[in-house]
Chains A and B, each alone.
Chain A
Amino acid sequence: MIHVISAEMRKLRRPTLLLSTMAIVTVLTALFTFLTFWRVGNPNGNGRRGEIVTAQFLSTPHGLVYGFNIVAFLLGIVALCIFASQTAQEYTYGTLRNLLVRQPARMKILGGKYISMILFAVLMVLLSLISSILMAYALAGHSHVNTSSWSTSAGLSAMATSVGNVLLSVSCFGTIGMILGLLFRSPISAIATGVIWFLILENILAGVVTSTAKWLPGQNITNLTTSENFTFSYQHSLILDGIYIFVSASIVAILFKRRDVAN
């Protein structure tokens, strides 16, 4: 397995992928955190979907990672795209046959690929966190936000919880990306399906028939990081997403193990 991870890391660390992804993630997080702090007190809102986030709230232990939390969904979409493309490209480039000749244990290929992409996602999340923290401290004075609670044990605990939940959310989106990549065997189809579903179809469904939100995978993944917008519990989302991902991952893993590699 360690050989597979090492090989996959070589592919993931190529500058065009690594630097551009990390730059996008860092800039996006900094931008959202900047807008939240800069527009404090703006009657048109400064938070997610126009909600008003006050300086008082930002001064709580949760204030430090507010900007980090609101980009969790976008981080998830980035992870979905990367996991999907890195998986499906093996089919479109025809490189899967090389991988399987050098490592015929298909589950090791799948496992090693997954672990390496999770490591990539961890780096992405940590950079996003750092970017959010730096921007929050930089603008706290301008926004009259009191930072004293951020470094308390409650603040650190809130940060640890937030990092854990964002990592979980990003991993869920990434896993779904990998599942789509294995299913469609084409990066474009896999990414398009994932993005259209999570960004458009789920929002329409949840908006038109609100009761469906409780059962939609994307809504439940988002609930792991931003529970205040949802009527269903964190535990419900955790269990439901776990079931969805376990079942779909098992199906594609069996397909990957048994399917002929004919391209």
Chain B
Amino acid sequence: MAISVTDLTKVYGERTALSHATFSVPLGTVCGFVGPNGSGKTTTIRMLLGLISPTGGTGTVLGHNISHPEKYLPKVGAMIEGPAFYPALSGRENLRVLASLGGFDQAVVDPLLERVGLGDRGGSKFKTYSLGMKQRLGIAAALLPSPRLLVLDEPTNGLDPNGIHEVRSLIKDLAEGGTSVFVSSHLLSELEMIAEHLVMLRQGKVIFNGKTADLLSAQQPVLIARPEYSVDLPKLIEIVKASGHELTSHDGAAHILSPADWGAALNRLAFEAGITLASLTSVLPTLEETFFEMTGDSE
């Protein structure tokens, strides 16, 4: 396992930031770490990186106990809560400070700047960077140790669509090269596209830990049936209810919780009732919809 935690808990005074979290991240996968603000994501990441000590529970990173971060951190790259660098130093010099500190070859700095698209701005002071450039520098710093595990906290914050696409490609490339990636993001659509594995937090508790595909398949697909004439919608709703399916209606269509293969039966029943369907579509809920349903978060 790249990461494995059991009953991990962090309490600040009377506030529980993380409560008995138990999850694991397989090696070589991209794992999304999702949760609303204040759910304990950053607290968990900080504990995994040895920055804060847990109140209770245990954990391992790359097979080593989190109480001995010196054993695994040389193989871990991390960007926590956005990029933090020295404003008066250039991007290149900031990376060199970290390379010196980690004992890495200084020769990796320029290729890394090129890789994140900062090759021509490496000599500029960090304080002159845009938010997107700062984010790219943070990712470059995380890649300094050629990590076996990459921990990224909201890596696409401040990036334009092109930048987001590049980060997504970078994460995929790293995963294909055997790097495990643990990435938190509030952009759930981002994680849906790149994460094979998912850990979901709500109010400091893990509410899902498993494959993204399993999470999606656990949700019932929705059939969207739209009658040709809106006057037929009430009659269509009656037919669906009589068949024992739950539904909602909006935008002139019935949204029915049912498997896709019930679509043929619905089409037949509607036809027999004299209703012509303009469209009949089976839709899988997005990760975002699933997430909101599970967390009860309306935002």
Residues of A at the B interface (CB closer than 8 Å) are 3-4, 6-7, 10-11, 14, 16-17, 89, 93-95, 97-105, 258, 260-262
The answer, among A95, A105, A260, A262, for a CB contact under 8 Å with B86, is: A95
B contacts with A, residue count (CB < 8 A): 31
Secondary structure dominating the interface of A: helix
- B58-88 vs A, CB cutoff 8 Å, 1 = contact: the mask equals 0000000000011001001010111011111
A-B contact pairs, 24 of them (CB 8 A): A3-B100, A3-B102, A7-B98, A7-B100, A10-B97, A11-B89, A14-B88, A16-B88, A93-B85, A93-B87, A94-B81, A95-B85, A95-B86, A97-B84, A98-B85, A99-B101, A100-B51, A101-B50, A101-B76, A103-B101, A103-B102, A104-B70, A261-B52, A262-B52
CB distance from B135 to the nearest CB of A (A): 14
Are A10 and B96 also in contact (CB < 8 A) when A3-B103, A93-B86, A104-B73 are? yes
- A10, B144: Cα distance in complex, Å: 17
Determine the main DSSP class of B at the interface with A.
loop
Give B145 Cβ to nearest chain A Cβ, in Å.
Answer: 8
The answer, yes or no, to whether B93 is at the interface (CB within 8 Å) is yes
The answer to whether A101 touches B78 (Cβ under 8 A) is yes
CB of B111, distance to nearest CB on chain A (Å): 19
Residues of the A chain whose Cβ atoms lie less than 8 Å from the Cβ of B80: 97, 101
In this assembly, does B2 line the interface, its C-beta being within 8 Å of a C-beta of chain A?
A: no
State whether the Cβ of B141 lies closer than 8 Å to any Cβ in chain A. yes
* Residues of chain B within 8 A of A101, CB atoms compared: 49-51, 73, 76, 78, 80
Given A95-B85, A101-B73, A102-B73, verify A6-B50 contact (CB < 8 Å): no
Q: With both chains docked as a complex, state the minimum distance between the C-beta of B142 and any C-beta of chain A, in angstroms.
A: 9
A102→B98 contact, CB < 8 A: yes
Q: Which residue on chain A has the smallest CB distance to residue B78?
A: A101
B37 lies within 8 A of chain A by Cβ: no
Determine the distance from Cα of A6 to Cα of B103 in the docked complex, in whole angstroms. 10
B121: Cβ under 8 A from any A Cβ: no
What residue in chain B is nearest A16 (Cβ atoms)? B88
Name the residue of chain B whose CB is nearest to the CB of A99.
B101
Name the one of A4, A94, A98, A258 contacting B141, with C-beta atoms under 8 angstroms.
Answer: A98
Q: Pick the residue among B53, B73, B81, B85 that contacts A260 (CB under 8 A).
A: B53
Q: Which of A14, A95, A102, A105 has the most CB of B within 10 A?
A: A102
**A residues near B84, Cβ cutoff 8 Å:** 93-95, 97-98
Q: Which of B49, B93, B97, B145 has the most chain A CB atoms closer than 10 A to its own CB?
A: B97
Closest-by-CB residue of A relative to B71 is: A104
